[in-house]
Amino acid sequence: MEIKKENRKWLDDMNLSHPIVIAGPCSAETEEQVLKTAHELKNTDTNVFRAGIWKPRTRPGGFEGVGEIGLPWLQKVKEETGMLITTEVGNANHVELALKHDVDILWIGARTTVNPFVVQEIADALKGVDKPVLVKNPVNPDLALWLGAVERFKTAGITQLGVIHRGFSTYNSLHYRNKPKWHIAIQLKKEFPDLPLILDPSHICGRRDTLLDVSQTGLDLNYDGFMIETHIDPDNAWSDAKQQVTPAQLNQITKDLKIREVSSTKEDFQRKLNMHRKELDLIDSNIVDILGDRMGIAEQIGRLKKQENVAILQSGRWSDILMKMIEYGEEKGLRKEFVEEIFRTIHVESINIQHKVK
């Protein structure tokens, strides 16, 4: 499905300058907390005020949001500061209540995007309304689910669309709360090149000290803006305390970010860029050749194992290889997570090839 360039027009119509900054607390806790945070954000680069009214939690018993009583607080934010307001909606009832309280932008959370039935319910509830809708990536790294959610809203007649990249859940991430897996967002951008792409570094990082670095990566990749959780007293927040910043800290982050040019017409730049790209093309071709050779050897090993009735998976050998490659990669300046992801993928394909041997 084609997403046309007019899908970016709503950003201009709402006077949302580049990069867009959506900020506010993870959760609306009290009216005082919401309004105080908003008034402090008014003096920053924030375009849109965010606050979670309904908070889907992984396990019951945690704070699940104040619910409908928080919506008038957001209305007061708009009245008193002039900022646009946005909140997450997780079902048709949320949509009805948010529209009733004149919420400007709705976003779809990661736990909702993963469920096509609920996405369709929300899309149906928005037919004929055409409010801006931002779709977060699903919890798991499934590009098809993300694309499908966007397509459901498009089919329902929603033209003011955007997406939020908040990273993907994983069981063994040390550096990130949710691994960014930038390639998935880049692939979505290839499918929908004119769809606004917003970065949520708060949920990717899970802690405030790395927000700047991840946000800069987003700008370097030509993202359209950020959604950053901001609270007047982050350490005492009722949810996600470690990843929230104060309005003053947010202001410093946005000042420290470097906005890159999309390209340069300087002759020397273009010459050097083309030279490096040609080098990369040659190396990429060599990588594919080497992978082809490696999988050919894996096939021979699979055939040998089958002849001798030996199990395909050799866990001890695999663990030794992975540790050795991570160590070697670190000597070459490569991140552990990067090397591990590459070799896990190679290992899975090797097993698949050995399994298919006749």
Q: 226, 256, 286: which is the final residue of a domain?
A: 256
Q: 288 with 242, same domain?
A: no
Q: 214 with 325, same domain?
A: no
Per-residue model confidence (pLDDT) at position 177: 92
Q: What is the CATH number of the domain that holds 138?
A: 3.20.20.70
Place of tokens 């499908």: 148
| Nearest one of 126, 122, 136, 84 to 105, comparing CA atoms | 84
pTM: 0.81
Q: 48 with 157, same domain?
A: yes
Residue 51 forms part of a structural domain: yes
From CA 73, how far away is CA 93, in angstroms rounded? 19
Number of C-beta neighbours around residue 102 at 10 A: 13
Sign of CA dihedral 40, 220, 199, 197: positive
293, 298, 299, 303 alpha-carbon torsion, rounded to 10°: 140
* Element (DSSP H or E) covering residue 216: helix 211-220
| Nearest one of 129, 128, 94 to 108, comparing CA atoms | 94
Number of C-beta neighbours around residue 134 at 10 A: 22
CB-CB contact of 229 with 204 (8 Å): no
- DSSP string for residues in 308-356: TT--S--HHHHHHHHHHHHHHHHHTT--HHHHHHHHHHHHHHHHHHHHH
Residue 1 forms part of a structural domain: no
DSSP code at position 259? P
Q: 121 with 229, same domain?
A: yes
Per run of 10 residues, the mean pLDDT along the chain (length 358 residues) is 58 88 97 98 96 85 90 98 97 97 97 97 94 96 96 95 94 81 92 94 96 94 95 96 97 91 77 85 90 92 90 88 92 91 92 88
Domain residues for the domain of 276 are: 267-356
Within 8 A by CB and 6+ apart from 290, the residues are none
Q: 249 with 303, same domain?
A: no
Q: What is the CATH number of the domain that holds 283?
A: 1.20.59.10
Residue 262 forms part of a structural domain: no
CB-CB contact of 130 with 160 (8 Å): yes
Residue 283 forms part of a structural domain: yes
Place of tokens 């960014």: 180
Per-residue model confidence (pLDDT) at position 30: 97
Per-residue model confidence (pLDDT) at position 247: 98
Per-residue model confidence (pLDDT) at position 172: 67
**Domain count of the fold of the chain:** 2
